[in-house]
Amino acid sequence: MEIALLIILGVVVVAMLYGIAIYNGLVALKHAVDNAWSNIDVLLKQRHDELPKLIETCRQYMRHAQETLARVTEARSAVASARKAGDVTALGTAEGALRAGLG
């Protein structure tokens, strides 16, 4: 009878140790998942914080691009007018303005 009791007790102890090991593994996995979600949250917050800066940079670039386009358009018109008029001095000045607008 004692041997049967020791065997049963051994099986119960092994089962408990196995259960504890599984539980510890599940807890470790839960912590890993929580950590991964925290990292995702941090990255999303950083991305959200960068959006206003990106929008402002794009607005500034658009202003600059519009100004450049206006200068180039005016310079092209001046070049076309100088060509039609046949004025070499005005053509040289207009070409210089066009180069400056493109540069």
Tell me the whole-structure pTM to 2 decimals. 0.49
User: How far apart are alpha carbons 30 and 38 in whole angstroms?
Assistant: 12
Percent with pLDDT over 90 in the chain? 39
**Position of tokens 């912590």?**
31
Rounded to a whole number, what is the largest CA-CA distance in the chain?
Answer: 123
Report how far apart, in Å, the C-alpha atoms of 101 and of each of 26, 41, 80, 90 are.
Answer: 66, 45, 15, 16
**Position of tokens 């929580």?**
34
DSSP H/E element including 50: helix 2-85
Residue 39 pLDDT class (50, 70, 90 cuts): very high
User: How far apart are alpha carbons 12 and 5 in whole angstroms?
Assistant: 10
Q: Where are the domains of the chain?
A: 47-103
Copy the structure tokens of residue 15.
């089962």
Residue 62: HSE in the Cβ half-sphere, 13 Å Cα cutoff = 6
Residue 36 pLDDT class (50, 70, 90 cuts): very high
